[in-house]
Structure 1
């Protein structure tokens, strides 16, 4: 009875805190992701109309990811010095400049620079939310809070393309979606600036809970059993050096998960095209896979909070690894379309089970008092994995075949699963109910 009472108390407290985060964190996240999701599919099309060929249009589209990759470390510096709220407001305001640049770009270079700026600002916006949740959400329901954060982002990115399609049908101009993104950014900035102040509504727990004489200690590589005490504010690069062991071990495991996720987005459309399916069928299969992925985001947080982080990371990586390996041998089968649909669903389940795991692991191993510089390094690693994965798929496909590239992604996922088994128990605190 006592155990059940404690669990119910934690659940009630979790629901209360998550509801308070709605207008502070989840609302702005949905708005930002909805606008960005509406614009992303149109970037190559607008680039092509400005004179880019297919390869150059793809390069311009990648400027969004490159901008986010480059923005993580400066974002860590900004959050550590001016706070999460101001960083989110500044990032949203600068993104508006990117929107104006995309609408009125006279040449391709200006358009590409505007896309890069939006990606750069998205890094600041995302890291500020991550840092806020890291310092304020108790360990007992941290995974649920961060899985919900990831789920709200996925919701915006999932609905954004449908909004863009509606705007195209209504106005017949791709720039309508960019203006819609601008409207979302204005609403985001207003909500951040004039809504409830998250830094006052949910203050950081008192530093009196820590040893007052503690300072940022060098990472020894030993198991983490609680929050890392840190009061001395240090720079991003020194933080990278101090936490080099966890970044080079658990951080690379996290990067492998990010790479597998990114490869899924590339491999599935290419696979459907290569076996002769029409665009509508491919879109339907990929959409169903995405819907399954989205439906599982909160279940992932429940699993991580109740049983531990490894219970989400390991099944997700094994399921996606085996799914890619199995898909790789079905290309020339007579029923290849059926296998494609089935394994797309399997990959959706695997990706859904991992929802929020990268945010949660980063929060688990970040220094409690000043997490932003560490999270900047953590997110740089995971974003790098996501950015390099499509290049790996493209290179292997060019040299060998798409089947070999798909199998290679499966092997990478299984190796990542081994890395999680090795490093999660060593670095991540155990969940206590």
Structure 2
């Protein structure tokens, strides 16, 4: 079957998920992306010093870490649509705290709540796609989900800058986030239900088995074992492939920290650093759907391994260029390499989580999976910060070694734990 033969019906099927999944994802990410850069400024306006402002900003990541396990419990019992609705509504409470908090402590609590709700919203989307999209084009569906999130996080800071220039008040971006959340909740509640019709040919399926057609309607489940029992039952894959996935998450997070620090360290001005990081991000975004195509057509490892090798080698090579001639040129080149690697990894964590999740009740497992990957992302900036106290080159080199070790882990564990459809 040629690409043209199968892409059109797949595109029509994926379009069915736009009102409930892709559209709300963009809206949530736009609002979150607009607010994140301004959290330290809002904290400073309340009297926080620099370390305290950084602590307030980090409460978002802490909230996401803490929210994954409860979100798995909620999705398993309430369903994806209701969980997304509750999470979006509760996040409005966090936004109100950003607007009205009289102290830094209450501001931090509000940021934590937003992170907690973001975890619940994200896990509900992940679970929904896991149970509804067949293996034949699962990676493309989830790469598109990752791409829509990246699009929102890319647009958000630019809208924040425009609002700041227009109103001169960082709270204008908070109001934008509130509007995005209201729109998100309304779309989830009242948008066309992707389960009412499917665009792929053939009758809709209601069986748990993945037979190549999108599933519609309620997903039948077996006996629910609970979050912690699920973690114990699947400890093998979580402690092996889950840790490899956490290393990929760490590489992504390290890229966001190391590149700006590296530019400052070699003496570049803010505009040049922003341009280099922006180009790297544009390359990253441009490749998000290609990652899904590669995973669906050739297997998950064909995207995971090049991504990890490129990012690992990129960090490792960058660590040797700090004091060489034309350090700025090397910085720009390896930033582009890291952007390519990160772009090829788009959707991998979502897809591997969906591939290894139990088909009858994926949400508790996905809560554990996302906790591991979020922990990897949260740990990387701490590692970079600790090693940068000695040398930024050492920090970059350490991330490079971690990437190569993670690549070896993917080679070892992906073939063991990830199912392959015939012909892939």
Q: TM-score, normalised by structure 2?
A: 0.94
Question: Do the aligned residues in 2 keep the contact of 1:305 with 1:431 (CA within 8 Å)?
Answer: no
Question: Do the aligned residues in 1 keep the contact of 2:208 with 2:359 (CA within 8 Å)?
Answer: no
Question: Aligned match of 1:123 in 119, 124, 132?
Answer: 119
Cα gap change, 1:283 to 1:118, in 2 (>3 Å): same
Question: Aligned match of 1:178 in 153, 174, 177?
Answer: 174
Cα shift at 1:126:
0.3
1:151-181 C-alpha deviation (Å, 9 max, x unpaired): 0000000000000000011111000000000
Q: Structure 1 residues 361-370 or 190-199, which shifts more?
A: 190-199
> For 2:331 and 2:324, how far apart are their aligned partners in 1?
11
In the alignment, does 2:340 pair up with 1:366?
no
Cα RMSD (Å) of the superposition?
1.5
In the alignment, does 2:71 pair up with 1:80?
no
Residues 406-421 of structure 1 aligned to structure 2 (within 5 Å): 406-421=396-411
Question: Do the aligned residues in 2 keep the contact of 1:329 with 1:403 (CA within 8 Å)?
Answer: yes
Cα shift at 1:48:
1.2
Question: Do the aligned residues in 1 keep the contact of 2:251 with 2:380 (CA within 8 Å)?
Answer: yes
Question: Do the aligned residues in 1 keep the contact of 2:312 with 2:404 (CA within 8 Å)?
Answer: yes
Question: Aligned match of 1:266 in 239, 247, 257?
Answer: 257
Q: TM-score, normalised by structure 1?
A: 0.92
In the alignment, does 2:419 pair up with 1:423?
no
Q: Which residue of 2 aligns with 1:214?
A: none
Question: Do the aligned residues in 2 keep the contact of 1:393 with 1:405 (CA within 8 Å)?
Answer: yes
Question: Do the aligned residues in 2 keep the contact of 1:39 with 1:164 (CA within 8 Å)?
Answer: yes
Gaps in structure 1 of 5+ consecutive residues: 211-228
Question: Aligned match of 2:152 in 136, 156, 166?
Answer: 156
Q: Which residue of 2 aligns with 1:377?
A: 368
Question: Aligned match of 1:135 in 131, 137, 152?
Answer: 131
> For 1:175 and 1:249, how far apart are their aligned partners in 2?
43
Question: Aligned match of 1:31 in 22, 27, 32?
Answer: 27
> For 2:195 and 2:360, how far apart are their aligned partners in 1?
14
Between Structure 1 and Structure 2, how many residues are aligned?
410
Question: Do the aligned residues in 2 keep the contact of 1:289 with 1:344 (CA within 8 Å)?
Answer: yes
> For 1:230 and 1:303, how far apart are their aligned partners in 2?
31
1:203-237 C-alpha deviation (Å, 9 max, x unpaired): 99423759xxxxxxxxxxxxxxxxxx972211000
In the alignment, does 2:276 pair up with 1:285?
yes
> For 1:133 and 1:246, how far apart are their aligned partners in 2?
20
Question: Aligned match of 1:401 in 391, 400, 413?
Answer: 391
> For 1:265 and 1:295, how far apart are their aligned partners in 2?
17
Question: Do the aligned residues in 1 keep the contact of 2:19 with 2:193 (CA within 8 Å)?
Answer: no
Three-state SS of the structure 2 residue aligned to 1:207 is: coil
Cα gap change, 1:344 to 1:209, in 2 (>3 Å): closer
Q: Which residue of 2 aligns with 1:352?
A: 343
Gaps in structure 2 of 5+ consecutive residues: 211-219
> For 1:46 and 1:201, how far apart are their aligned partners in 2?
45
In the alignment, does 2:7 pair up with 1:15?
no
> For 2:414 and 2:204, how far apart are their aligned partners in 1?
26
Three-state SS of the structure 1 residue aligned to 2:400 is: helix
> For 2:395 and 2:205, how far apart are their aligned partners in 1?
47
Three-state SS of the structure 2 residue aligned to 1:165 is: helix
